Structure 1
Amino acid sequence: MRIACVILAAISLAACSQFVGDNRQNVPLPKALIDRMAAIGSSPSEPMVVRLFKETSELEVWKRTTSGSYALLKTYEICKWSGALGPKIREGDYQSPEGFYDVTPGLMNPKSSYWLSFNVGFPNKFDQAWGRTGTNLMIHGDCKSVGCYAMTDEGIKEIYAMARETFKGGNRSFQLQLLPFRMSEANMAANAASPHLAFWENLKEGTDAFEATRQPPTWDVCERRYIFNKGAPGSQPLDPSGACPVSMSTFQAGAF
């Protein structure tokens, strides 16, 4: 009887330990990934940028290096995304969003039902200016999507850990670029008949700035369009539906 009780107690303790010890949000970065950061002149605490490309199902993580510019650290395969090329319009359209977003610590979700996740920040002020709706749009694990970008569990472990470490380094956010495809002239020409072309041309302004400078562009919204690298540090946010300042108003309004 005593032996049976000891065995039962041991089983109960093991079960409790497994539950209490589920510390997935704090799993350390793999040494190989830290070594890769060092090889490009970066470290876990440095700022990062995440770029996603629907058409090729790729997610890139870029890190700031000792030169001050950003370098590509690693590319992950997106396991699944929803809908077609083009932005998310409304709740329930099963469409993965596109645009520029800033992920803050408050958008991290360590208790996700899909292993780990973080909210992309949809709808941002651009989406809101167009009346677009949707909730809980995430990048997560478990390879299932009904509007999110789903990674493998192994992939989201690393991406989540890199975000965690960049926040620990004192960075208040990281930029997320959700893109339909690589914004080359050839790809733009191939999609010239799309009703989303004006929207994509606007996104291309931001991706062109990133590729030219290897720095994440600052962004804001006015006249219901993205404006990149226009605001002075500390300047007041723009009214997303209001007129752009004269120096910025070079855009003829179109249907995004």
Structure 2
Amino acid sequence: MLRKPENSLSGEDDFKNQQLNFESVKTAYAEKWPGLRDELFRKDFEDNFDLFIAAYKSEGKLEIWLRDSSQPRYALFKTYDFSAHSGVLGPKTKKDDLQTPEGVYYIDRFNPLSRFYLSLGINYPNAVDLLRSGHHDPGSDIYIHGNCLTVGCIPLTDDKIKEVYILAIEARNNRQTQIPVHIFPFRMTQENMNRNLVDFPQHKAFWKTLQLTYNYFEKFRNPA
């Protein structure tokens, strides 16, 4: 589906310069970085920020939260719309089920050679996913990527992935070796929980656990 990236998170001294060797990344920086830097300045963020990504499947929203290295709490920077959806509410359990995962992840791959322009891989399946999948193949290769197609990933269009990819590079280049990505079925207020459990009662135990993660961030503006 996607070509494997040549650069990993093992970390040479200047990750950004490595990524700029790829034409897609160079183009993204030329088009998007001046405007992003202006927006960072207007919203009082410094260049040496940490990044947190939250995604909400039902709402089709991906949020970018930033925190200056000296600050304890993240603040919302930008929100992007999914450009397509796949599957239904509930976690991914096996290969080819078309489901977008739900859970606590982090970015583990930067792919400047993606078929979908640029892509950021998440560490699906994690330990919880493997346990849930049992004897089934849980699948793999879950990305935040460009384009408007998906079979379980989170697409944002080519234009929007340029910004998200750049922000992830900047965070990684500032020594954030793990960029957290939390994928929720919906904004996990109690009202939303009650409404969605009517149709998906089988996910109650998992969603109640995931709601603790959601509530922690809502209270402390810091991922658990």
Q: TM-score, structure 2 length as denominator?
A: 0.82
Distance 1:45 1:159 in 2: 16
1:145 paired residue number: 150
Q: C-alpha distance in 1, partners of 2:81/2:46?
A: 23
CA RMSD, 1 decimal: 1.6
Change (3 A) 1:68 1:36: farther
1:156 to 131, 156, 161: 161
CA deviation string 1:155-200 (max 9, x = no partner): 1000011001100011101110111110111101112332112111
1:24: which partner in 2?
24
Q: Secondary structure at the match of 1:216?
A: coil
TM-score by length of 1: 0.72
1:74 is the counterpart of 2:78 = yes
| Pick aligned residue for 1:134 from 136, 139, 161 | 139
Runs of 4+ in structure 1 off by over 3 angstroms are: none
TM-fit CA distance, 1:32: 2.8
Which structure dedicates a bigger proportion of its chain to helix? 2
Percent identical residues: 33
Consecutive unaligned residues of structure 1, counting only runs of 5 or more, are 1-20, 218-256
CA offsets, 1:31-68, max 9 Å, x none?
Answer: 33222222333234311100111111111000003543
* Cα deviations by residue, 1:54-99 (Å, 9 ceiling, x for unpaired): 1111110000035431000000010012100110010011111111
Highest RCO, 1 vs 2 (Cα 8 Å, sep ≥ 6): 2
Answer yes or no: is 1:90 the counterpart of 2:94: yes
- Asked whether 1:184 is paired with 2:189, we answer yes
- Name the CA distance, whole Å, in 2 between partners of 1:185 and 1:35: 37
Question: Which residue is 2:117 aligned to?
Answer: 115
Q: Is the Cα contact below 8 Å between 2:22 and 2:112 reproduced in 1?
A: no
CA distance in structure 1 between the partners assigned to 2:47 and 2:64 by the alignment: 12
Which structure: larger Rg? 1
Shift of 1:30: 2.9
Say if 2:73 and 2:220, in contact at 8 Å, map to a contact too.
yes
What one-letter code is carried by the residue in structure 2 that aligns with 1:23? E
